[in-house]
Amino acid sequence: MILVTGTTGQLGFAVLAALHRRGIPAEGSSRSGRDGSRRVDFDRPDTIDFTGVSTLVLVSAGEAEDDVVIARHAAAIGAAERDGVRHLIYTSVTGAGDHLAFALAHRATERHLATSALQWTILRNGLYAELFGGLLGWKDDGLVSAFGDGVVRAAARGDLAEAAAIVAESPAAHAFRTHDLVGPPVSVADVAARLGVPHRVIGLDRYRESLHCVGLKPFQPAMIASIASAVRHGFLDRPSSDLVGILEREPVDGVALAASVAATTRPDHVTG
């Protein structure tokens, strides 16, 4: 049986849905156990039960400081070893993302997994195109950002979920492999052109200041600012054909997807 963790989150939910679309029996899990999912709380290792699970899709349990995230993933890996899981698929961050503030927890988990007794596959997911679009602001009917002229190899969340489902369907074919799953190049200039608006660049200092005014958790401003800095300075533009190879098709247009998300936050946008 395939179990997908974190299915109350967007990626976990999308992976489970992709498996079901492919006619593959799979179950979801979450901390709350809502919507019929198996209750799995990584903060309470003694309660984790992966009995009967042959393939575990471990969706990164972020939204916390590094020590907490690393401990959660360690608990999941330990329980998987104990309960006889044969293959663990972990959703990590792209290999080009080592400069990101949230990369350390991913790399620590990859290292732990590599020394485990499990058969594993690491999916190094690129930045979501939806997130890129959502991080763009508006000012005087134009886009404003700290991304500068940087380019990012962004991928649609749905494409990454489908790739995870394909790997989970035939995990042995991907045993002990690390896939770098990134999409085509996207820049704010591309998004602005698609929307027919100008783009004004601001400094990282002003951007960081703005992040402290929107009610984020204490660790989140540094994470988001690191995305802007990494894109701005050309550290997320490393290409890879792995996503195309797994999907056996071209990825979703990241520029169009980012533009559609950015358009929903435009001041004159009307919903419904």
Say what the pLDDT of residue 271 is.
46
Q: Which residues of the chain have pLDDT under 70?
A: 269-272
Say what the pLDDT of residue 42 is.
95
Say what the pLDDT of residue 272 is.
40
* Residues with Cβ within 8 Å of residue 201, at least 6 apart in sequence: 144, 145, 146, 147, 148, 149
What domains lie within the chain, and their CATH numbers? 2-264 (3.40.50.720)
Rounded to whole angstroms, how far apart are CA atoms 22 and 2? 13
Say what the pLDDT of residue 269 is.
59
- Label residue 230 exposed, middle or buried (CB < 10 Å: 0-12, 13-18, 19+): buried
Say what the pLDDT of residue 38 is.
92
Say what the pLDDT of residue 19 is.
98
Say what the pLDDT of residue 32 is.
84
Is the Cβ–Cβ distance between 223 and 233 less than 8 Å? Answer: no
Say what the pLDDT of residue 58 is.
98
